[in-house]
Amino acid sequence: MSKKVQPIPEGFHTLTPYLIVADADKELEFIKSAFDGQVIHLSRAADGTISHVTLKVGDSMLMMGQGSKIHPPAASMLYMYVEDTDAVYQRALECGAKSEREPADQIYGDRTGGVVSATGIHWWFGTRIEEVSEEEMEKRTKAMMAKHGG
């Protein structure tokens, strides 16, 4: 009789992002450098490209592979909660990302900023700076829409 297997592997959450990128080695180095990503498993294809890599970033898992004719690269956007949005944003820029939006406080209570990595992945960072009630959120949204004509 075989041992019972956990349906969700140790260390994983219900939802795990899987990126298919144009240059998996380049994105892997970016994730390791900018976000202290730790490689859990790495498999390479016969041509040397990454066929699959599992990384741990903070307390979350991320899977990634090299794009191909069968599975072409796909645009992706990830949102990461971090301790210090400004510091992570700056570090990502130093690791070769381009700014998508400088860090700023948002009406929903997060301070956010965004970058695009060299392979085109949109990485957004958020730090919760205040708890906002549903009532306050509705009030702030209406005020923002009135200000911007929407």
Which tens digits make up the pLDDT trace of 122-148?
999 999 999 999 999 999 999 989 888
Q: Is 3 within the bounds of a domain?
A: no
CATH (domain of 63):
3.10.180.10
pLDDT confidence tier of residue 1, bands split at 50, 70 and 90 = low
Q: For residue 116, what are the domain limits?
A: 18-148
Q: Is 5 within the bounds of a domain?
A: no
Q: What is the pLDDT of residues 14-72, one digit of tens each?
A: 899 999 999 999 999 999 999 999 999 999 999 999 999 999 999 999 999 999 999 99
Query: CA 14, 17, 20, 24 torsion: positive or negative?
Result: negative
Q: Is 12 within the bounds of a domain?
A: no
Cβ atoms of 20 and 71 closer than 8 Å: yes
Global pTM reads 0.88
Q: How many domains does the chain have?
A: 1
Q: Is 10 within the bounds of a domain?
A: no
Q: Is the pLDDT of residue 2 over 80?
A: no
Q: Is 7 within the bounds of a domain?
A: no
pLDDT at res. 4? 87
Q: Is the pLDDT of residue 150 over 70?
A: no
Q: Is 38 within the bounds of a domain?
A: yes
* Residue listed under structure tokens 């899987």: 18
